[in-house]
């Protein structure tokens, strides 16, 4: 009797396991593909974190301590061409970059600038952050070859909506520059004056442009330039909330964290400035 029960049990188990084999082979296929997707996601995540330009990845060991709070000149350019007060001719830009090089200035990435401003340490006594607003095509055709020649880093604040548009940078141009020391950070999506928008609209302008840059360059976009330098208290709050670490205005002078990391000052470089005058302004802002 016992034997019969055992045989029956074995039979039942065999049938059950047979059924479950069928289900299992199906399930394991599913599991397999889920696993593959997971592995793929991991790979994407891995690649992303490798190229993350987070301030935490900046190695400040060996940097020199400076007087608190650290000051840096953040230069503001727009177009490198001729025609109006926002356009700096190529020859002048070249002379200014040469002056920086000849005078021992180290060009910072946004991540390095963040480290300088928050840690009161510098990779070199003289440091500068070169920025361009709006992302004009001439940043690629005129400025980039000069920056590349001198081995200088710079940051372009791109307007999301202007990508691939007339007189503005293309994706390909930005990607090429990005591989060669030029950071692309946010100048919002639509270039509207943020202080005139509702908090919801402001949030949209900031978070969408961050997502765009994050995705396009596989980075953690940390810096924002307010269009036309306009902002209000909501802007300051939302810039932080949407994930940026710092933002620049058009208020004149050297930048330091006592201005607030979301209201950093900049030095507007205008056409017609003498190289000597340029040098004096930069030196003064370096502190």
Residues near Zn ion (CB under 5 A) are: 133-134, 227
Which lies closer to Zn ion via its Cβ, residue 116 or residue 158? 158
Q: Which of 221, 151, 217 is CA-nearest to residue 180? A: 151
Which lies closer to Zn ion via its Cβ, residue 153 or residue 168? 168
Give yes or no for a contact between 184 and 156, defined as CB atoms under 8 angstroms apart.
yes
**Alpha carbon distance 286, 107 (integer Å):** 12
Using CB positions, name the residue nearest to Zn ion.
133
Q: Work out how close the CB of 201 gets to Zn ion at its nearest, in angstroms, rounded to a whole number.
A: 17
Q: Work out how close the CB of 34 gets to Zn ion at its nearest, in angstroms, rounded to a whole number.
A: 46
Q: Where are the alpha helices (DSSP H) in the chain?
A: 2-51, 90-102, 110-119, 138, 144-150, 171-178, 199-217, 233-241, 275-286
Which lies closer to Zn ion via its Cβ, residue 111 or residue 133? 133
Q: Work out how close the CB of 240 gets to Zn ion at its nearest, in angstroms, rounded to a whole number.
A: 21
Which lies closer to Zn ion via its Cβ, residue 168 or residue 257? 168
Q: Work out how close the CB of 249 gets to Zn ion at its nearest, in angstroms, rounded to a whole number.
A: 12
* Phi and psi, residue 173, nearest 5°: -60, -45
Q: Work out how close the CB of 33 gets to Zn ion at its nearest, in angstroms, rounded to a whole number.
A: 47
Q: Which residues are bridge partners to 111 per DSSP?
A: none
Strands 121-122 and 127-134: unpaired
**Alpha carbon distance 75, 57 (integer Å):** 24
Q: Work out how close the CB of 214 gets to Zn ion at its nearest, in angstroms, rounded to a whole number.
A: 20
Token digits of residue 147: 């920056």
Give yes or no for a contact between 188 and 160, defined as CB atoms under 8 angstroms apart.
yes
Which lies closer to Zn ion via its Cβ, residue 79 or residue 178? 79
Which lies closer to Zn ion via its Cβ, residue 193 or residue 283? 193
Collapse the DSSP code of 182 into the 3-class scheme (helix H, G, I; strand E, B; otherwise coil) and give the result: strand
């Amino acid at each position: 009797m016992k034997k019969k029960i055992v045989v029956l049990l074995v039979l039942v188990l065999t049938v059950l396991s047979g059924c479950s084999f069928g289900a299992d082979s199906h399930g394991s296929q599913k599991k397999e593909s889920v696993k593959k997707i997971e592995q793929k996601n991991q790979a994407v995540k891995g690649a992303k974190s490798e190229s993350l330009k987070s301030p935490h990845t900046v190695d400040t060991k060996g940097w020199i301590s400076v007087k608190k709070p650290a000051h840096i000149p953040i230069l503001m350019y727009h177009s490198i061409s001729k025609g109006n007060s926002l356009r700096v001719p190529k020859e002048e830009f070249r002379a200014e970059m040469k002056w920086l090089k000849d005078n021992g200035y180290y060009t910072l990435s946004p991540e390095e600038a963040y480290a300088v401003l928050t840690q009161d340490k510098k990779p070199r006594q003289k440091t500068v952050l070169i920025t361009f607003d709006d992302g004009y095509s001439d940043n690629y055709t005129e400025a980039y070859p000069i920056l590349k020649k001198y081995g200088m880093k710079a940051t372009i604040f791109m307007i999301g909506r202007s990508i691939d548009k007339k007189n503005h940078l293309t994706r390909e141009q930005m990607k090429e520059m990005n591989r060669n020391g030029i950071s692309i950070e946010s100048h919002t999506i639509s270039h509207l004056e943020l202080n005139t928008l509702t908090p919801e609209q402001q949030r949209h302008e900031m978070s969408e442009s961050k997502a765009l840059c994050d995705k396009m360059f596989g980075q953690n976009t940390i810096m924002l330039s307010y269009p036309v330098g306009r902002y209000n208290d909501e802007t300051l709050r939302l810039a932080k909330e949407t994930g940026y670490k710092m933002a620049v205005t058009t208020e004149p002078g050297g930048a330091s964290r006592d201005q607030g990391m979301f209201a950093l000052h900049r030095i507007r470089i205008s056409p017609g400035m003498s190289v000597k005058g340029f040098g004096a302004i930069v030196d003064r802002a370096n502190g």
